[in-house]
Amino acid sequence: MSIESSIKTALNTADGGTIGISPAAEDLDPIDFFGVWYDAAEEFGIFMPEAVALATTTLDGAPSARMVLLKSVDERGFVFFTNYGSRKASELEKNPQAALCFHWAELERQVRVTGAVERISPEESYAYFSSRGRGSRIGAWASKQSEPLPDRATLEDRVREAQQRFAEDDVPLPPFWGGYRIRPGTIEFWQGKADRLHDRLVFTRSGDAWTTERLYP
Ligand SMILES: Cc1cc2nc3c(=O)[nH]c(=O)nc-3n(C[C@H](O)[C@H](O)[C@H](O)COP(=O)(O)O)c2cc1C
């Protein structure tokens, strides 16, 4: 069976119309499965399907969460970009573990990811940074993300300074800015179903392979 047809089988409805997660999904690679759900969210027209909650913790276990944008995903993991001096980065540098939670409400779908986090290479960060508009690149230089800001004028001054500094030149990648990759240890797919009898399927990494398990809703 081709990967496309196994994915179709995995998504097929077996219960009179409510789309569930069929047993065939258990044989899929979870990154491929994520790609199918992500594409479905895009095709459905969900606003910013790439928006995802990112949870980190301090070393003594206090959690914090905020939204980030997923910029790429492949078998190595899920990548987002940020300021390496931000609160999230400082927590990730001390405790390089994170959780992601996507919610595509109109499709009644949630995907949860947990895993170890690492910085991506400066080359990879540069490749993405240089694809951003000039305004965003200047903004990255101007923002000391998560530090106290005395007033809006201070930020605007810093934007002007960065504009002058790079007036002639291309805006280079700030040394304090780049991507993180979450290497998934678990990926859980949740599909809403009638009477709160939702489907939950968890993939857990086991060496180079994945094991699967169903959970009560
Ligand atoms: C939809 C949405 C997407 C966001 N995407 C990012 C992002 O990709 N990277 C980022 O650093 N902040 C992003 N932010 C801002 C963060 O939520 C957060 O305010 C900021 O990164 C500071 O978080 P921290 O102080 O915990 O580090 C986004 C906010 C929203 C609402």
Q: How many angstroms does the Cα of residue 178 sit away from the middle of ligand 1?
A: 13
What phi and psi, each to the nearest 5 degrees, are found at residue 200? -130, 130
- pLDDT one-digit tens code per residue, 111-161: 999 999 999 999 999 999 999 999 999 999 999 999 999 999 999 999 999
Instruction: Look up tokens 């605007």; give the residue.
Output: 156
- Active-site residue flag, 76: no
Ligand 1 pocket list (CB less than 6 A): 51, 64, 66-69, 80-82, 86-88, 145-146
Pick the closest to residue 86 from 185, 180, 183 (CA basis): 180
* Residue in 76, 134, 160, 196 annotated catalytic: 196
Residues 6+ apart with CB under 8 A from 203: 30, 33, 186, 187, 188, 189, 210, 211, 212
Residues in the chain, total: 217
Which pTM does this prediction carry?
0.93
- pLDDT one-digit tens code per residue, 151-182: 999 999 999 999 999 998 899 999 999 999 99
**Which residue's CA is the closest to the ligand 1 atom numbered 14?**
68
d(CA 111, CA 201): 10
Q: How many angstroms does the Cα of residue 66 sit away from the middle of ligand 1?
A: 6
Q: How many angstroms does the Cα of residue 65 sit away from the middle of ligand 1?
A: 9
Domains of the chain: 3-119+182-214 (2.30.110.10)
Query: 140 near 179, Cβ under 8 Å?
Result: no
**Which residue's CA is the closest to the ligand 1 atom numbered 30?**
67
Q: How many angstroms does the Cα of residue 188 sit away from the middle of ligand 1?
A: 23
Substitution site in 52, 56, 69 for ligand 1 pocket (most atoms within 8 Å of beta carbon): 69
Give the three-class secondary structure for 208.
coil
Counting residues of the chain whose pLDDT is more than 90, the rounded percentage is: 90
Counting residues of the chain whose pLDDT is more than 70, the rounded percentage is: 92
